[in-house]
Amino acid sequence: MIVKVKREDYFSEFEINIQEKRITILEVLDYIKNYLDPSLSYRSNCRASICGTCGVKVNGKPVLACKTKALDLAENNTLLIEPVDNMPIIKDLIVDQDEFLEKLKKAKAWFEPRDNFEKVYPQDLALFEKEADCILCGICYSVCPAFQNDKNFGGPINFIKIFRFWKDKNDALGDVRIEIAKENNITSCIHCKYCTFSCPKEIPVESDIMQLEFFGKQKGIIQSQDNFGFGFNFGF
C-alpha cells in the first residue's frame, strides 16, 4: 500500500505492506516513524479513543487515527494522511489547538455546582449522556465551515459543552447557558451537519445546537435570523 503523508507544502510517500484488517492508521504512522522516517511528527496518547489527541484526515475524512482501520479508508491501495483543518499546522500532522481550547473557556465548558444537589436518576443522565462522551478531539471544530464567515463563532465543540451542562439539573447556571451560547455566536451555525457526521463519538451536535437556538428564541434570549447557508462556500 502507498501511504502519502502531508508535510508542510509537500507529501512524503511510503510503501507499506498492510494485510491485516485490524491495523489502524495510528499503527501505520508508528511503523513509518519507527522504521522508515523518525522525523515524522504526529500526536497520540491513549490509543483507546479516549484522549482525542490523534485526529487526522485520511483520504479527506477526519478521523481518530487510533480508532480507524487503514484498510477501511484506503482508496486505490492508497492512504493520503493530512492534518485536520481550521487549525494552524505546527509540524506535519500536529496542529495548534490553542484557539479552540481558548474558546472553550469563553463557553464556560465546566460544571458549576448548585448549592443544594438534587438526586440524579437514569432519566436525568439520559438527557446528556451522549454529550458527556465528548473527548475534546476537535474534529467537529475542524470540519465546521461557519468559520469562513464568522471567526468569532464558538464552534460545535462549545455548544456540545453548553448543551451538556444546560441539561444537568444540578448545574447552577441554568438558562444562563443560553446567554453564553448567544455570546458564542450560535446563530452563525449554518446547520450543515458536518459536525454530527464526523463526530467519532456519534454525538448529535447539530441537533444540540438546534435545541439551544430554539429554546433561546422561545425565551427571547436569541434573536431569530435566516442563516441557513445562503452565500456560504463550504469548500468541501
Reduced to 3 states, what is the DSSP secondary structure of residue 199? Answer: coil
Report if pTM > 0.75: yes
Q: Give the pLDDT confidence score for residue 100 in this predicted structure.
A: 87
Instruction: Using the predicted structure, report yes or no on whether residue 231 has a pLDDT greater than 60.
Output: no
Residue 131 near residue 203, CB atoms below 8 Å:
yes
Instruction: Using the predicted structure, report yes or no on whether residue 227 has a pLDDT greater than 90.
Output: no
Which ranges in the chain are annotated with CATH 1.10.1060.10? 98-218
- Domain spanning 98-218, CATH architecture: Orthogonal Bundle (1.10)
> How many residues are listed for the chain in this entry?
236
Reduced to 3 states, what is the DSSP secondary structure of residue 162? Answer: helix
Residue 221 near residue 180, CB atoms below 8 Å:
no
Q: Give the pLDDT confidence score for residue 137 in this predicted structure.
A: 95
Residue 68 burial (C-beta neighbours within 10 Å; 0-12, 13-18, 19+)? buried
pLDDT digits (tens, 9 = 90+) for 27-85: 999 999 999 999 999 999 999 999 999 999 999 999 999 999 999 999 999 999 999 99
Q: Give the pLDDT confidence score for residue 223 in this predicted structure.
A: 84
Report the share of the chain in percent with pLDDT over 90. 91
Element (H, E) at 201: none
* Average pLDDT taken over every residue of the chain: 92
Q: In one letter, which amino acid is 2?
A: I
Q: Please state, in angstroms and rounded to a whole number, the distance separating the CA atoms of residues 70 and 66.
A: 10
Question: Of the ranges 99-108, 167-176, 201-210, which one carries the lowest mean pLDDT score?
Answer: 99-108
Higher pLDDT, 225 or 190: 190
Q: Please state, in angstroms and rounded to a whole number, the distance separating the CA atoms of residues 48 and 222.
A: 39
Confidence of residue 225 (pLDDT cuts 50, 70, 90): low
Confidence of residue 234 (pLDDT cuts 50, 70, 90): very low
Picking from 138, 62, 46, the residue whose alpha carbon sits closest to that of residue 101 is 138
What is the phi/psi pair of residue 150, to 5°? -150, 100
Q: Please state, in angstroms and rounded to a whole number, the distance separating the CA atoms of residues 151 and 148.
A: 7
Q: What is the dihedral of CA 94, 35, 13, 95, to 10 degrees?
A: 0
Instruction: Using the predicted structure, report yes or no on whether residue 92 has a pLDDT greater than 50.
Output: yes
Q: Please state, in angstroms and rounded to a whole number, the distance separating the CA atoms of residues 186 and 206.
A: 11
Q: Give the pLDDT confidence score for residue 207 in this predicted structure.
A: 97
What is the phi/psi pair of residue 28, to 5°? -65, -45
Which ranges in the chain are annotated with CATH 3.10.20.30? 2-95
Q: Give the pLDDT confidence score for residue 154 in this predicted structure.
A: 95
Residue 52 near residue 80, CB atoms below 8 Å:
no
Confidence of residue 220 (pLDDT cuts 50, 70, 90): very high
Element (H, E) at 95: strand 94-95
Instruction: Using the predicted structure, report yes or no on whether residue 104 has a pLDDT greater than 50.
Output: yes
Instruction: Using the predicted structure, report yes or no on whether residue 228 has a pLDDT greater than 80.
Output: no
Assigned CATH for 2-95 = 3.10.20.30
Instruction: Using the predicted structure, report yes or no on whether residue 194 has a pLDDT greater than 90.
Output: yes
